[in-house]
Amino acid sequence: MTSSSSAIHKLEDYKPTPWLTPSVDLRFDLDLHLTVVRAEYEVVLSANQREPLFLNGESLDFLSIRIDGTILDPNEYQVSPVGILIPNPPKDKFKLSVENRINPAGNTSLEGLYKSGSMLCTQNEPEGFRKIVYSIDRPDNMMRFRVTISGDGTLFPIMLSNGNPISENTFADGKKEVVWEDPYLKPSYLFALVAGELVETKDFFLTMSGREVTLKIFVEKGNEEKVSFAFDSLKKAMKWDEDTFGLEYDLDLFMIVAVEDFNMGAMENKGLNLFNAKLVLADKKSATDESFEAILAVIAHEYFHNWTGNRVTLRNWFNLTLKEGLTVFRDQWFTEDMTDPAVKRIKDVLFLKEFQFPEDQGPMSHPILPKSYKEMNNFYTVTVYEKGAEVIRLVSELIGRENFKKGLKHYLSKYDGQGVTFEEFISSMEEVASHSIPNLRNWYHRSGTPLISVKETYSQDSNEWVFDLADTGSSEYPLVFSNSLAVFNREGSLLKEERRIMTGDRDQIRLPALDETGTKPIVSFFRSLSSPVRLEYKQSEEEIQILAKMETDGVSKFFAFQNLVFDWFRKSLASGKEENFSVILDTISDSFGKGWDKTYHSFYLSFPGLTQISESVGCYEFQKLSDLRLKAIQKITTTFTPQFQTLFEENRKTIPIQTKEEIGKRRLKNTALFYLLHDPSKKFERLAMMEQREAKHMSEEVSALKYLLEVDSKEKENSVNLFFEKWQKDSLVLDVWFAAQVASGENRTQVAEELENHPQFNIRNPNKVRSLYFSLARNPLSFHKEDGSGYDFIADRIKRLNEINPQMAAALTKLFSPVSKQKGELPKLAKKQLESIASLPNLSKELGEIVVTILNSL
Ligand code: TRP
Ligand code: ZN
Query: Is residue 270, in this structure, part of any structural domain at all?
Result: no
Nearest to 816 by CA among 803, 831, 801, 805: 831
Q: Hey, which residues does 737 pair with through a beta bridge?
A: none
Quote the CA–CA distance of 664 and 646 in Å, as a whole number.
Answer: 15
Q: How far apart, in Å, do the first and last CA atoms of the chain sit?
A: 29
∠ CA 266-268-271, rounded to 5°: 125
∠ CA 772-778-779, rounded to 5°: 90
Q: What is the 154 CA–ligand 2 centroid distance (Å)?
A: 34
Ligand 1, residues 264, 270, 308, 332: which to mutate, most atoms within 8 A of Cβ? Answer: 264
Residues ≥6 apart with Cβ < 8 Å to 659: none
Query: Is residue 278, in this structure, part of any structural domain at all?
Result: no
- Atom number of ligand 1 nearest to Cα 309: 1
Answer whether residue 120 shows pLDDT above 80: yes
10 Å CB burial of residue 746 (0-12, 13-18, 19+) is middle
CB 121 less than 6 A from any atom of ligand 1: no
Q: What is the 137 CA–ligand 1 centroid distance (Å)?
A: 16
DSSP 772: I
Collapsing DSSP states into helix, strand and coil, what is residue 184? strand
Mean pLDDT score of the chain? 97
Please give the torsion angle defined by the CA atoms of residues 720, 726, 728 and 734, in that order, rounded to the nearest 10 degrees: -60
Percent of the chain with pLDDT over 90: 98
CATH number of the domain encompassing residue 347: 1.10.390.10
pLDDT value at position 474? 78
∠ CA 423-185-15, rounded to 5°: 45
Cβ-count burial 184-198 (b if 16+ within 10 Å, e if not): bbbbbbbbbbbbbeb
Q: Could you tell me the maximum CA-CA distance found in the chain, to the nearest angstrom?
A: 97
CB 375 less than 6 A from any atom of ligand 1: no
Verify that 377 and 471 share a domain, yes or no: no
Residue span of the structural domain in which 6 resides: 1-197
171 touches 177 (CB < 8 A): yes
- Atom number of ligand 1 nearest to Cα 276: 13
10 Å CB burial of residue 460 (0-12, 13-18, 19+) is exposed
CB 267 less than 6 A from any atom of ligand 1: yes
∠ CA 548-288-331, rounded to 5°: 65
Query: Is residue 839, in this structure, part of any structural domain at all?
Result: yes
Q: Whose Cα sits closest to atom 2 in ligand 1?
A: 267
CB 125 less than 6 A from any atom of ligand 1: yes
Quote the CA–CA distance of 18 and 343 in Å, as a whole number.
Answer: 49
Closest ligand to residue 267's CA: 1
Which amino acid, 623?
Q
Verify that 57 and 74 share a domain, yes or no: yes
Could you read off the pLDDT of 199-252 as tens digits, one per residue? 999 999 999 999 999 999 999 999 999 999 999 999 999 999 999 999 999 999
Nearest to 165 by CA among 176, 174, 173: 176
Could you read off the pLDDT of 405-447 as tens digits, one per residue? 999 999 999 999 999 999 999 999 999 999 999 999 999 999 9
Annotated catalytic residue within 302, 386, 424, 691? 302
CB 123 less than 6 A from any atom of ligand 1: yes
375 touches 846 (CB < 8 A): yes
Quote the CA–CA distance of 522 and 802 in Å, as a whole number.
Answer: 53
Verify that 140 and 56 share a domain, yes or no: yes
Quote the CA–CA distance of 205 and 260 in Å, as a whole number.
Answer: 27
10 Å CB burial of residue 502 (0-12, 13-18, 19+) is buried
Q: Whose Cα sits closest to atom 3 in ligand 1?
A: 267
- Atom number of ligand 1 nearest to Cα 126: 9
CB 525 less than 6 A from any atom of ligand 1: no
Collapsing DSSP states into helix, strand and coil, what is residue 215? strand
Collapsing DSSP states into helix, strand and coil, what is residue 789? helix
Verify that 811 and 780 share a domain, yes or no: yes
Q: Whose Cα sits closest to atom 6 in ligand 1?
A: 267
Q: What is the 303 CA–ligand 2 centroid distance (Å)?
A: 9
CB 380 less than 6 A from any atom of ligand 1: yes
Q: Whose Cα sits closest to atom 9 in ligand 1?
A: 125
Ligand 1, residues 125, 279, 767: which to mutate, most atoms within 8 A of Cβ? Answer: 125
Quote the CA–CA distance of 766 and 590 in Å, as a whole number.
Answer: 44
Q: What is the 453 CA–ligand 1 centroid distance (Å)?
A: 37
pLDDT value at position 459? 97
CB 513 less than 6 A from any atom of ligand 1: no
Q: Which residues have CB less than 5 Å away from ligand 2 (the ion)?
A: 324, 327
CB 424 less than 6 A from any atom of ligand 1: no
pLDDT value at position 1? 31
Verify that 325 and 375 share a domain, yes or no: yes
Q: What is the 189 CA–ligand 1 centroid distance (Å)?
A: 10
CATH number of the domain encompassing residue 10: 2.60.40.1730
- Cα 525 from chain centroid? 27
Could you read off the pLDDT of 701-758 as tens digits, one per residue? 999 999 999 999 999 999 999 999 999 999 999 999 999 999 999 999 999 999 999 9
Query: Is residue 846, in this structure, part of any structural domain at all?
Result: yes
Answer whether residue 480 shows pLDDT above 90: yes
Nearest to 785 by CA among 814, 751, 740, 761: 751
Answer whether residue 331 shows pLDDT above 80: yes
- Atom number of ligand 1 nearest to Cα 298: 4
Pairing of strands 372-373, 9-10: antiparallel
Q: φ, ψ for residue 292 (rounded to 5)?
A: -60, -45
DSSP per-residue string spanning 89-144:
-SSSEEEEEEEEEE-GGG--S-SEEEEETTEEEEE-TTTTGGGTS-B--STT--EE
Verify that 738 and 723 share a domain, yes or no: no
DSSP per-residue string spanning 688-757:
HHHHHHH-SSHHHHHHHHHHHHHTT-TTHHHHHHHHHHHHTT-HHHHHHHHHHHHSSSS-HHHHHHHHTT
Which amino acid, 57?
G
Give the orientation angle of helix 320-338 with respect to helix 341-351, to 10 degrees.
140
Verify that 349 and 491 share a domain, yes or no: no
Q: φ, ψ for residue 147 (rounded to 5)?
A: -125, 125
Query: Is residue 577, in this structure, part of any structural domain at all?
Result: no
pTM, two decimals, is: 0.97
Query: Is residue 769, in this structure, part of any structural domain at all?
Result: yes
Q: What is the 318 CA–ligand 2 centroid distance (Å)?
A: 15
Residues ≥6 apart with Cβ < 8 Å to 564: 541, 544, 545, 548, 583, 584, 587
Which amino acid, 260?
E
CATH number of the domain encompassing residue 504: 2.60.40.1840
∠ CA 135-137-141, rounded to 5°: 100
Mean of pLDDT values over 568-584: 97
Percent of the chain with pLDDT over 70: 99
**237 backbone φψ class: left, alpha, beta (φ>0; ψ -120 to 50):** alpha
pLDDT value at position 2? 34
Structural domains counted in the chain: 5
Verify that 41 and 138 share a domain, yes or no: yes
- Atom number of ligand 1 nearest to Cα 377: 9
Mean of pLDDT values over 670-697: 96
Could you read off the pLDDT of 785-841 as tens digits, one per residue? 999 999 999 999 999 999 999 999 999 999 999 999 999 999 999 999 999 999 999
Among residues 179, 197, 215, the one where a domain terminates is 197
Answer whether residue 693 shows pLDDT above 50: yes
CB 668 less than 6 A from any atom of ligand 1: no
Verify that 4 and 61 share a domain, yes or no: yes
302 is an active site residue:
yes
CATH number of the domain encompassing residue 757: 1.25.50.10
Collapsing DSSP states into helix, strand and coil, what is residue 6? coil
Quote the CA–CA distance of 728 and 285 in Å, as a whole number.
Answer: 14
385 touches 325 (CB < 8 A): yes
Please give the torsion angle defined by the CA atoms of residues 626, 632, 636 and 639, in that order, rounded to the nearest 10 degrees: 130
HSE-CB of 749 using CA atoms within 13 angstroms: 20
CB 268 less than 6 A from any atom of ligand 1: yes
pLDDT value at position 3? 35
- Cα 466 from chain centroid? 40
Could you read off the pLDDT of 131-158 as tens digits, one per residue? 999 999 999 999 999 999 999 999 999 9
Sheet containing strand 78-80, edge to edge, reads 53-56, 83-86, 78-80
Mean of pLDDT values over 160-167: 98
Cβ atoms within 10 Å, residue 435: 9
Quote the CA–CA distance of 267 and 301 in Å, as a whole number.
Answer: 9
Which amino acid, 682?
K
10 Å CB burial of residue 430 (0-12, 13-18, 19+) is middle
DSSP 248: -
Nearest to 632 by CA among 580, 673, 667: 580
pLDDT value at position 475? 82
Q: What is the 617 CA–ligand 2 centroid distance (Å)?
A: 32
Ligand 1, residues 123, 324, 379: which to mutate, most atoms within 8 A of Cβ? Answer: 123
Verify that 766 and 839 share a domain, yes or no: yes
Verify that 480 and 360 share a domain, yes or no: no
Among residues 488, 515, 531, the one where a domain terminates is 531
Could you read off the pLDDT of 483-537 as tens digits, one per residue? 999 999 999 999 999 999 999 999 999 999 999 999 999 999 999 999 999 999 9
Could you read off the pLDDT of 347-369 as tens digits, one per residue? 999 999 999 999 999 999 999 99
246 touches 207 (CB < 8 A): no
Quote the CA–CA distance of 104 and 94 in Å, as a whole number.
Answer: 30
The 3-state secondary structure of 367-420 reads: CCCCCEECCHHHHCCHHHHHHHHHHHHHHHHHHCHHHHHHHHHHHHHHCCCCEE
Verify that 715 and 794 share a domain, yes or no: no
Q: What is the 658 CA–ligand 1 centroid distance (Å)?
A: 27
Collapsing DSSP states into helix, strand and coil, what is residue 808? helix
CB 849 less than 6 A from any atom of ligand 1: no
pLDDT value at position 5? 52
Model confidence at 4, pLDDT cuts 50, 70, 90, reads very low
Q: What is the 246 CA–ligand 1 centroid distance (Å)?
A: 26
Closest ligand to residue 111's CA: 1
Query: Is residue 228, in this structure, part of any structural domain at all?
Result: no
CB 263 less than 6 A from any atom of ligand 1: yes
Q: What is the 331 CA–ligand 2 centroid distance (Å)?
A: 10
Cβ-count burial 602-625 (b if 16+ within 10 Å, e if not): bbbbbbbbbbbbbbbbebbebebb
Query: Is residue 544, in this structure, part of any structural domain at all?
Result: no
Distances (CA, A) of 443 to 51, 88, 171, 424, 439: 36, 42, 58, 15, 8
HSE-CB of 44 using CA atoms within 13 angstroms: 9
Closest ligand to residue 327's CA: 2
CB 308 less than 6 A from any atom of ligand 1: no
Among residues 484, 511, 531, the one where a domain terminates is 531
DSSP per-residue string spanning 624-655:
HHHHHHHHHHHHHHHHSHHHHHHHHHHT-S--
Residues listed for the chain: 858
